[in-house]
Amino acid sequence: MLVVGGGLVGLTAALVLRHHGVSVTLVERRETTSPQPKARRFHFRSMEVFRELGLAATVHEAARDLADHDRMAVGHTLAEAEQLPLWQPGDVDVLEVSPELPCLVAQDALEPVLRAAAQDAGADVRFATALTGFEQDADGVADPGGRWLRASYLVAADGARSGVRTALGIGRSGRGAVGEPAVNVYFRADLEDVVRGREFNLCQIEHPDAPGALASVDGRFRWVFMTSGERTDRDWPALLRTALGVPAPDLDVLSVLPWQPEMLVADRYSAGRVHLVGDAAHVMPPFAAMGANTGISDAHELGWKLAAALSGDAPPALLDSYDAERRPAGWFAADQSARRTLDLRGTGTPDPDLAHPFLLVAGGFQYTDGALCRADGQDPEPVHEFAPAGRVGTRVPHRWLDEARTRSTLDLAGPGWALLVAGDPRPWERDAGGVAVHRLDADFLPAGTALLLRPDDVVAWRGTDVTAPPRVLRDLLGPTAVAA
Ligand SMILES: Cc1cc2nc3c(=O)[nH]c(=O)nc-3n(C[C@H](O)[C@H](O)[C@H](O)COP(=O)(O)OP(=O)(O)OC[C@H]3O[C@@H](n4cnc5c(N)ncnc54)[C@H](O)[C@@H]3O)c2cc1C
């Protein structure tokens, strides 16, 4: 398997593929991981993926600098800013949503962790190596002339300007530019004394001469100031000192990056043996912190499907379901992101089409088409409330399986499939199609009902017919799926 791009999503794809026992080569044209902090918020669902990969504790460790920086703050300047109360949805107990808490860690701190983990897991990770072109035929993908690389499939994690996507002629659709152009100023300054007592994730600065938002990168020395406008040639040290409201004598501007929030989704996620993941497949404004998180879910889902196709456990047609599932999910995340703005005081009129935020952060999007067996008459997953109930096409709800709260329903599938049964499991154990059967007495599962979970924790089938699971597996994966 070839992964192109060693950003956060490409590295996650390599890890997921190794988790499924697939041999992987990853090429990244840069010599190092990203020097830019970029994404910092990793939601429940991404942390669950890292948990499955055995990396959650390592990621939390990499996040220790920002461990107490969950709050938002607002002020005329940073020196005058006040923390806002920690936002919690009234209708959800945050501690019961997931076995993992979300995590605030800058992308430039996380990527080295993922790179080392991918190498430890046996991926052939080649930085300073660019893919300059590729060819595909019925058997695989190769560099032009097949001189140095040949692989069964190519995972394109080569970012928003994806050369692979362009070479395939895949266009993008969506709202395009959303809101105003912006500039991110990444700088160093020891602000520990100013920040103490008002630690923040984002601090909205309302000074009329320096409006914008300050993001904590390590909570002490490294910061990003985001402000609207196109000019990059401003007197940034002066403007930053105005925003900070303190002299900050050691302030040092590290980079100034203009960017435009955009909402664009690839018109196809797959072309032959090539599959797009991450920003190559979708870009979205950052206000829901969904860009990297959506990419991590792409990699998590594509990984098991590629592994099944490669091992012969499923026909290659299974891979068609990647586009059928992840493209609507990418569109949903991008559209919801485009509907959000930076409005920490919550003074604007909320968009009536905003989904419940936990639908985004806990992987609540429901697949309606793909590697699923939908039951007639099931209510769809609600969008304006967070009410996971083990519906087909959704992530299985989290419930602890032991009093010590160490094992979750989310630990039962991945890398294999799992059958969760409410009540006596024995009738199901007679022929579960080779899938591990677990008893689960949970509020969302009436006695006698079972859920068939895919390796990505998504409910593929739900029902009471004990003869159904092997048949469903055969329907979804093909005739070789079920051991005789
Ligand atoms: C200011 C800002 C804030 C953000 N905040 C958040 C947030 O809080 N939460 C969130 O989820 N997302 C956030 N995002 C978005 C997030 O950073 C991106 O979604 C994420 O980086 C996408 O990862 P990726 O691996 O798909 O692409 P990239 O990070 O762009 O990685 C692509 C990689 O592919 C390599 N590459 C390209 N072409 C080739 C080639 N031909 N051969 C070899 N290598 C190649 C590139 O060098 C690059 O390293 C933010 C983005 C910005 C700009």
* Whether 307 and 279 share a structural domain: yes
Query: Are 155 and 2 spatial neighbours (Cβ–Cβ below 8 Å)?
Result: yes
Query: Which residue has a Cα nearest atom 31 of ligand 1?
Result: 7
Are 226 and 213 in contact by the 8 Å Cβ rule? The answer is yes
Ligand 1 lined by 130 (C-beta under 6 Å)? yes
Q: Which atom of ligand 1 is nearest to the CA of 40?
A: 8
Clarify whether residues 151 and 165 are in a common domain: yes
Residue whose CA is closest, atom 20 of ligand 1?
292
475 in the same domain as 409: yes
Distance from C-alpha of 66 to C-alpha of 70, rounded to nearest angstrom: 8
Q: Could you give the CA distance from residue 92 to residue 398 in angstroms, rounded to a whole number? A: 13
d(CA 52, CA 49) in angstroms, rounded, equals 5
Q: Cβ-count burial of 208 within 10 angstroms (0-12 exposed, 13-18 middle, 19+ buried)?
A: exposed
Measured CA angle at 118 (ends 97, 300), to 5 deg: 40
- Residue 279 Cβ contacting ligand 1 at under 6 Å: yes
Quick one: 235 and 147 in the same domain? no
CA of 134 to the centre of ligand 1 (A): 21
Indicate whether 397 and 484 sit together in one domain.
Answer: yes
Q: Which amino acid is at 263?
A: M
Q: Which two tokens stand for residue 391?
A: 């519906």
In a domain, 350, yes or no: no
252 and 268: one domain? no
| CATH code, domain with 256 | 3.30.9.10
Please check whether residue 430 lies inside any domain of the structure.
Answer: yes
Contact 309, 198 (CB under 8 A): no
Please identify, by atom number, the ligand 1 atom nearest to the C-alpha of residue 43: 11
- Of 7, 190, 185, 29, which Cα lies nearest the Cα of 110? 7
Q: List all residues 6 or more positions away from 352 whose beta carbon is below 8 Å from its beta carbon.
A: none
Measured CA to CA, the distance from residue 249 to residue 189 in angstroms comes to 8
User: Which helix (DSSP H) or strand (DSSP E) does residue 2 occupy?
Assistant: strand 2-4
User: Distance of CA 401 to CAs 52, 95, 442, Å?
Assistant: 16, 15, 10
- Does the C-beta of 361 come closer than 6 Å to ligand 1? no
Residues 416 and 297 in one domain: no
Strands 25-27 and 124-126: parallel
Q: How remote is the CA of residue 164 from the centroid of ligand 1, in Å?
A: 15
* Cα–Cα distance for residue pair 92/87, rounded to 1 Å: 11
Q: Mean pLDDT per 10-residue run, the chain (484 residues)? A: 98 98 98 94 97 97 92 95 83 89 95 98 97 93 86 97 98 95 97 94 96 96 96 97 97 96 97 98 94 98 97 94 98 93 63 89 92 85 93 97 96 97 96 94 95 98 96 86 48
Q: 183: Cβ below 6 Å to ligand 1? A: no
75 close to ligand 1 (CB < 6 Angstrom):
no
The answer to whether the CB of 10 is under 6 A from ligand 1 is yes
9 lines ligand 1 (CB under 6 A): yes
Question: Are residue 294 and residue 307 in the same domain, yes or no?
Answer: yes
Sheet containing 124-126: order of strands:
124-126, 25-27, 2-4, 154-156, 274-276, 270-271
Q: What is the maximal distance between C-alpha atoms in the chain?
A: 74
Q: Is residue 182 in contact with ligand 1, taking CB distance under 6 Å?
A: no
Domain boundary among 260, 278, 295: 260
Q: Are 120 and 16 in contact (CB under 8 A)?
A: no
What CATH number is given to the structural domain containing 371?
3.40.30.120
pLDDT the model gives residue 68: 86
Q: From ligand 1's centre to the CA of 428, what distance in Å?
A: 44
Same domain, 443 and 386: yes
Q: Same domain, yes or no, for 243 and 373?
A: no
Q: Does any domain span residue 343?
A: no
CB of 390 shorter than 6 A to ligand 1? no
Query: Is 29 a pocket residue for ligand 1 (Cβ < 6 Å)?
Result: yes
CB of 261 within 6 A of ligand 1: the answer is no
Instruction: Choose the final residue of a domain: 338, 358, 380.
Output: 338
Residue 473 tokens, joined: 């597996």
Q: Is residue 422 part of a domain?
A: yes
| CB 163 less than 6 A from any atom of ligand 1 | yes
Q: Could you identify the atom of ligand 1 that is nearest to the CA of residue 46?
A: 11
Name 283's bridge partners: 264
Mutate to test the pocket of ligand 1, among 11, 33, 38, 256 (most ligand atoms within 8 A of CB): 38
Helices and strands per DSSP (H, E), number in the chain: 12, 25
- 17 and 132: one domain? yes
Does residue 345 lie in a domain region?
A: no
Distance 261 CA to ligand 1 centre (A): 14
pLDDT of residue 93: 87
Q: Let me know if residue 360 belongs to a domain.
A: no
In Å, how far are 108, 214, 356 from 32, measured between CA atoms? 10, 26, 37
State both tokens at 265.
């989704």
Q: Is 126 in the pocket of ligand 1 (CB under 6 A)?
A: no
30 Cα: distance to centroid of ligand 1 (angstroms): 12
The closest residue, in CA terms, to atom 1 on ligand 1 is 38
Q: Is 131 in the pocket of ligand 1 (CB under 6 A)?
A: yes
The CB of 330 under 6 Å from ligand 1? The reply is no
Residue 415 and residue 395: Cα distance in Å, rounded? 15
Q: What is the DSSP string of 3-29?
A: EE--SHHHHHHHHHHHHTT---EEE-S
- Say if ligand 1 is within 6 A of residue 6 CB: yes
> What is the full DSSP assignment across 56-115?
HHHHHHHTGGGTT---EEEESSGGG-EEPPPP--TT--GGGS-SS--EE--HHHHHHHHH
**CATH number of 33's domain:** 3.50.50.60
Number of domains forming the structure of the chain: 3
At 228 the pLDDT is 94
Q: Which domain holds residue 91?
A: 67-102+180-260
- For residue 366, the Cα-to-chain-centroid distance in whole angstroms is 15
Which atom from ligand 1 is nearest to the alpha carbon of 107? 17
User: Does 160 fall in a domain?
Assistant: yes
* Residue 264, SS3 per DSSP: strand
Among the three residues 260, 275, 297, which one is the final residue of a domain in this structure? 260
Inside any domain, residue 353:
no
**What is the Å distance from ligand 1's center to 159 Cα?**
5
Q: Quick one: pLDDT at residue 484?
A: 34
- Three-state secondary structure readout of 182-228: EEEEEEECCCHHHHCCCCCCEEEECCCCCCEEEEECCCCCEEEEEEE
Is there a single domain that holds both residue 219 and residue 126?
A: no
Cα 250 to middle of ligand 1, angstroms: 30
